[in-house]
Amino acid sequence: MARIKRFLEEPTRFIINKHINKELYMIIPTGSLSLDRLLGGGIRTGLLTDIYGPSGTGKSQLCFSLCVNSAKYLKQKEMIMFIDTVGTFRPERISEIAKQERNNEILDKIIFIRALSTYDQIKSIRKIYDVKPLLIIVDSATSLFSTEYSGASRHLVLMNHLHELSFAAINFDCAVVITNMVRNVPVVRPITDQDDNTNNKVIKTTTTKSNSYQQREFMGTSVSIYSHIKLRLEIDNSEKSIVRASLMQPTRRGQVSFRIITRGFSDQIK
């Protein structure tokens, strides 16, 4: 965790080891300056970043923007791997964000995998060892697991999958970005009551009114184990397409807002 906090405090794009003159990690800009500042510069290689939030908060849009921005730093044989589990991949949107510059070249650098089952999703990880991509995107990480598994087995299989992704991020020095959804859970509050027989205080739990819910990341406990960075997105203003971002792990005070526009993101929200 100390290593991650140090990363967030260093705005430089590269960290160079002076003894071996080798790039230790790289930062990929998100397309929003305010979001980059929140993340300490952007999305870092060597780490697994979890981006979660409700539908319509720009999770996939952020992934498209990362594809465009990472393409600027690709070496000759480096690629981008995009694993789509929910059918959200839009090559025309990537071309739109790229502002008609090097569209074909950017799309040619993306290895697209449409995973229709958890078997496809898990099997796609094997390609990392051959491709060694700079950026890996899994959109979304939990969707297929939620339909094919239940109970403890769902968490165990997902954690094994995320362990492989985290292992790949560290060993191949690539940026791994996963997206995740949220679910509504009833608000539960403890109530202290007196036991008539023993005169001891008893703590009970009860749910509030039926319309009192809070949003939590789906399978968040399992996802958090292997996530180095966790970014939460929320809708700030749906009419103006303004999104609010909060850094949940490592915890950092403050929130930033940005707007989704035709060519990516804008920090002009007024």
> Structurally, how many domains does the chain consist of?
1
Residue 189 falls inside a structural domain: no
In this prediction, residue 15 carries a pLDDT of: 38
For residues 45 and 26, the answer to whether their CB atoms sit within 8 Å is: yes
Q: Domain of 159?
A: 2-181+218-266
In this prediction, residue 76 carries a pLDDT of: 78
In this prediction, residue 268 carries a pLDDT of: 85
CA distance 189 to 186: 10
Strand 135-139 and strand 80-84: pairing?
parallel
CA distance 53 to 218: 9
Single-letter amino acid, residue 204: K
Residue 199 falls inside a structural domain: no
Residue 257 falls inside a structural domain: yes
Q: Among 5, 2, 3, 11, which residue's Cα sits nearest to residue 252?
A: 5
Per-residue pLDDT of the chain (270 residues; tens, 9 = 90+): 444 444 444 443 333 333 333 455 689 999 999 999 999 999 999 999 999 999 999 999 999 999 999 988 888 788 999 999 999 999 999 999 987 566 678 899 999 999 999 999 999 988 898 888 999 999 999 999 999 999 999 999 999 999 999 999 999 999 999 999 998 777 766 655 555 566 555 555 555 555 677 888 998 899 999 999 999 999 999 888 999 999 998 887 789 999 999 889 999 877
Residue 161 falls inside a structural domain: yes
Residue 56 falls inside a structural domain: yes
In this prediction, residue 270 carries a pLDDT of: 72
Looking up residue 78, the CATH number of its domain turns out to be 3.40.50.300
Residues 6+ away with beta carbon under 8 Å from 167? none
Residue 246 falls inside a structural domain: yes
